[in-house]
Structure 1
Amino acid sequence: MQTRSALVIVATCLALTACASDDASVDSVAGATAAGFYDPSPESIPGRHGSVIRSQPLTGARAVPGARNHLTLYRSVDAHGAPVAVSGTLAVPEGTPPPGGWPLISWAPGTTGVADVCAPSRTEGSSPSAQEQARWVAEGYAIAKTDYQGLGTPGGHGYLIGDTEQRAMADLATAAREVDDSVGSRWVAMGHSQGGHAALFAAGAAAAWAPDSELLGAVALAPASHLGEQVRMAKWSVSNPLGSLGTGDVAVYLPLLVRGAQTVTDLDPARFLTDRANALLPMADSACTGELREQDNWGGLSPREVFTEDGDLSALLRVLDDNDPSGLRFTAPVLVLQGRSDRTVPLKATDAMVAEQQLHGQSVDYRKYDDVGHSDIVSASFADALAWVDSRFGITG
């Protein structure tokens, strides 16, 4: 058993004071001058998954206060079994680590897009923010935050493809020890929205994928689920005159879902998209979600402007159904945290997902929060998440 004071005697006071901002360093990492970091030579990519290709210090606005920060490029394996490079960041508390090394959270972020410029390590404000991560660092946790496969790096982002998401998380948990040997081998998977989806898949497969890194549990905040059903309903509203369902977020996320599905199957979107929507599809390759939400982009499309009435969605729906987390079998305990006022990941969807998981005997602790929306769940549930994660590591107050 570890005590809270032993973990944070130095980290707490340092993490509560913001590091000095170094905008020049941020620009050199995130801007055009850093393109080479995210695009390694082909001969450098093959190797053991979870090993490091290269790493460098990270400073400025993207650095977590009170921590040693690293921008990291590491090896993983894509859906077709080919080696790929994945980028991510690592924040390690200052001070002396506890016996066994700093406990690690491998964090999977929410949706930013599928274009390389949308990679969380290049994007300020992607969840959790540096200040939110600093709360975990102040409690004595190292935070490894993946960009996912093909986001920032070549290869195409497998958006909401569960197996490649969990590989990115598990491989970064392994790579973290190579980047900084004060990081321990025990870890918890955690993520929000898309990242919650990833954390659930980690709970099912990461222990087998990375057996040298001990997975203790997974925390899924507002995890994406039932995407197939949501797409079916949006398509149904095209031909049903009584259907009042607007595509809303489904329209914004549809080009991302298409691009994600195309990383695992041969998918022709012209078989179900209107000419207008198909013409807008390439926007996903250069624009992040904020731009896709605009009224002159995907955010302004009605169902009839997205789907053809007789379109064949079967190939896309197969991928979405195959990657729904509801039927997963877990090898580690799971905590699901959901806001009741969430309009992006509906409460009913998460209720249904957890009910199915628990029906099949899965170890799922489910907690809901009144008057909490999609983005606010990260901060609103922090105390509960911390207590749950502490218990996994045997840390006492």
Structure 2
Amino acid sequence: MRRLLVGTLLAALAVTGPPAAAEEVVQNTAESTVESSAPGDVVTARQISAPGFFYARTWSITYTSTSATGQPITVSGTVIVPYGADEDTPVVGYAPGTHGLGDQCAPSRHLEAGDETEGLLIHQYAIRGFAVAVTDYEGLGTPGEHTYIAGRAEGNATLDVVRAALRLPGTGLSPSTDVAVVGYSQGGHASGWAAELAPTYAPELNIAAYAVGAPPAHLRTVAEHNDGGDNVGLVMAAGFGMDVTYPELDLAPYLNDEGRAAFADIRDDCTADLTKYAGHSMADYTTEDVLARPEWTARVDEQNLGGGTPEAPVLLYHSNGDEILPVQVSVDLRADWCGDGANVTFWRTHTGAHFTTAAVMSPAVTDWVADRLAGRSTGGNC
């Protein structure tokens, strides 16, 4: 459904044009290893021809970031810079929604192939003249497992892809330019984490706004809501992500035969593949309630939003009809952020289902972000 909806809208928008310049490789020779690189340093860059982005130069990059446990990692991503960009061109850090767990699911690969399901949403920013930096997150498109829904890793990767875009040779961008960070669904989780982490992790970035759409802000609530339903595969993917992020959790001893088979299979699934688990419960795959174990409870709760205070204005939006991520998680997040003195604009919408809302709300969200990047103030509605 997601691919059909957003792909159809993208087809209506995108037009073809001359290919980008011939491929070139930019290598960061100043630092030869990830361990000696700073977060946001470009490791490799390759200029590509990304179908639909005829009005921009586009690079496929890898860059240095920081894992949820504080280790240096290499993450892949895409940087899109419209022709004519200069030192005043803002940069939008784009955090994608759930694509899956396998490397073949990575947004960078689909942007280069021309079949990225969030292409329309990315175009909404790029066609306004904003540079867009899209992260793949840890382990999605690079060696290692995807640490799905590990908040700190997501937030770091999103902030660091912006840093990488600003350090990428040949873009014309300025390190002091205005920045916005946006995302929906898993991307909402990532942009929310970026908002909470930025004051200490990336204080040099001149961030003017965050757009946080339908975030899974409280993982236990989301897991309970989806267990036994059509989207339990996302809960299983989150369990896989927690297990590979924090090896001490060691999920294997709590899996039955069906669970061992399922979790061996899920590691390279894309989002559409996860529907095979519809109607099942986590209890079908485990020997006990893993989320009730204290070590799991602690790590899962660490992924919840609301523990930090965004310093730039935030647009938080969520549909009452969201069937995957209940709107109450955003109601509670708004209360947390507002209670801490953040500038929050909350749109509780009647825009239907989860993926429908991403597409329907995109123009209004982009307008709100563009206003912040233009220096227009907002008082929020806390």
Q: Tell me the TM-score range normalised by the shorter chain.
A: 0.7 to 0.9
Deviations, residues 328-377 of structure 1 (Å, cap 9, x unaligned): 32222211121222111122222222233323333221102213321222
Decide whether aligned partners of structure 1 residues 216 and 154 sit closer, same or farther in structure 2, where only a CA change above 3 A counts: same
- State the 1:254 CA deviation: 1.6
Q: Distance in 1 between matches of 2:136 and 2:342?
A: 28
Q: What amino acid sits opposite 1:305 in the alignment?
A: D
Q: Distance in 1 between matches of 2:121 and 2:345?
A: 23
**Is residue 157–residue 260 contact of structure 1 (8 Å, CA) maintained in 2?**
no
Deviations, residues 1-42 of structure 1 (Å, cap 9, x unaligned): xxxxxxxxxxxxxx96433579xx9xx99xxxxxxx9xxxx9
* 3-state SS of 1:64 partner: coil
Decide whether aligned partners of structure 1 residues 96 and 168 sit closer, same or farther in structure 2, where only a CA change above 3 A counts: closer
Q: What amino acid sits opposite 2:185 in the alignment?
A: S
The root-mean-square deviation of aligned C-alpha atoms, in Å, is 2.9
- State the 1:315 CA deviation: 2.6
* 3-state SS of 1:335 partner: strand
Q: Distance in 2 between matches of 1:256 and 1:132?
A: 24
Instruction: Out of 190-199 and 173-182, give the one that drifted further.
Output: 173-182
Q: Of residues 250, 256, 280 in structure 2, which corresponds to 1:301?
A: 280
**Is residue 196–residue 307 contact of structure 2 (8 Å, CA) maintained in 1?**
no
Q: Distance in 1 between matches of 2:246 and 2:360?
A: 36
- State the 1:133 CA deviation: 1.9
TM score, norm. by length of structure 1: 0.79
TM score, norm. by length of structure 2: 0.82
**Is residue 74–residue 85 contact of structure 1 (8 Å, CA) maintained in 2?**
yes
Structure of greater Rg? 1
Q: Distance in 2 between matches of 1:71 and 1:218?
A: 24
Q: What amino acid sits opposite 1:383 in the alignment?
A: P
1:391 aligns with 2:366: no
Q: Which runs of 4+ in 1 moved over 4 A?
A: 124-127, 309-312
Q: Distance in 2 between matches of 1:282 and 1:16?
A: 38
**Is residue 68–residue 151 contact of structure 2 (8 Å, CA) maintained in 1?**
no
Decide whether aligned partners of structure 1 residues 173 and 51 sit closer, same or farther in structure 2, where only a CA change above 3 A counts: same
Q: Distance in 1 between matches of 2:108 and 2:182?
A: 17
Alignment of 1:299-378 (within 5 A): 299-309=278-288, 313-378=293-358
Deviations, residues 208-251 of structure 1 (Å, cap 9, x unaligned): 222332122210111112212343577xxxxxxxxxx6243234
Decide whether aligned partners of structure 1 residues 156 and 43 sit closer, same or farther in structure 2, where only a CA change above 3 A counts: farther
Q: Distance in 2 between matches of 1:135 and 1:273?
A: 43
Q: Provide the residue aligned with 1:169 in structure 2.
A: 158
Q: Distance in 2 between matches of 1:112 and 1:17?
A: 24
* 3-state SS of 1:191 partner: strand
**Is residue 109–residue 127 contact of structure 1 (8 Å, CA) maintained in 2?**
no
Q: What amino acid sits opposite 2:84 in the alignment?
A: G
Q: Of residues 79, 83, 101 in structure 2, which corresponds to 1:94?
A: 83
* 3-state SS of 2:209 partner: strand
Q: Of residues 182, 198, 201 in structure 1, which corresponds to 2:172?
A: 182
Q: Distance in 2 between matches of 1:60 and 1:139?
A: 17
Q: Distance in 1 between matches of 2:375 and 2:332?
A: 32
Q: Distance in 2 between matches of 1:20 and 1:373?
A: 37
Q: What amino acid sits opposite 1:223 in the alignment?
A: P
**Is residue 372–residue 380 contact of structure 1 (8 Å, CA) maintained in 2?**
no
Deviations, residues 241-268 of structure 1 (Å, cap 9, x unaligned): xxxx624323433233333343134122
Q: What amino acid sits opposite 2:210 in the alignment?
A: A
1:58 aligns with 2:48: yes
Q: Distance in 2 between matches of 1:391 and 1:318?
A: 39
Decide whether aligned partners of structure 1 residues 358 and 254 sit closer, same or farther in structure 2, where only a CA change above 3 A counts: same
Q: What amino acid sits opposite 2:230 in the alignment?
A: G
Q: Provide the residue aligned with 1:267 in structure 2.
A: 249
Q: Distance in 2 between matches of 1:369 and 1:221?
A: 11
**Is residue 222–residue 324 contact of structure 2 (8 Å, CA) maintained in 1?**
no
Q: How many corresponding residue pairs?
A: 351
* 3-state SS of 1:326 partner: coil
**Is residue 218–residue 303 contact of structure 2 (8 Å, CA) maintained in 1?**
no
Q: Distance in 2 between matches of 1:199 and 1:127?
A: 19
Decide whether aligned partners of structure 1 residues 193 and 173 sit closer, same or farther in structure 2, where only a CA change above 3 A counts: same
- State the 1:207 CA deviation: 3.4
Decide whether aligned partners of structure 1 residues 303 and 281 sit closer, same or farther in structure 2, where only a CA change above 3 A counts: closer
Q: Distance in 2 between matches of 1:65 and 1:207?
A: 35
1:280 aligns with 2:269: no
Q: Provide the residue aligned with 1:12 in structure 2.
A: none
1:82 aligns with 2:81: no
- State the 1:379 CA deviation: 2.8
Q: What amino acid sits opposite 2:89 in the alignment?
A: W
Q: Provide the residue aligned with 1:105 in structure 2.
A: 92
Q: Distance in 2 between matches of 1:146 and 1:90?
A: 9
Q: Distance in 2 between matches of 1:310 and 1:68?
A: 49
Q: Distance in 2 between matches of 1:390 and 1:178?
A: 23
Deviations, residues 171-215 of structure 1 (Å, cap 9, x unaligned): 111111222432243211101111100101111112322233212
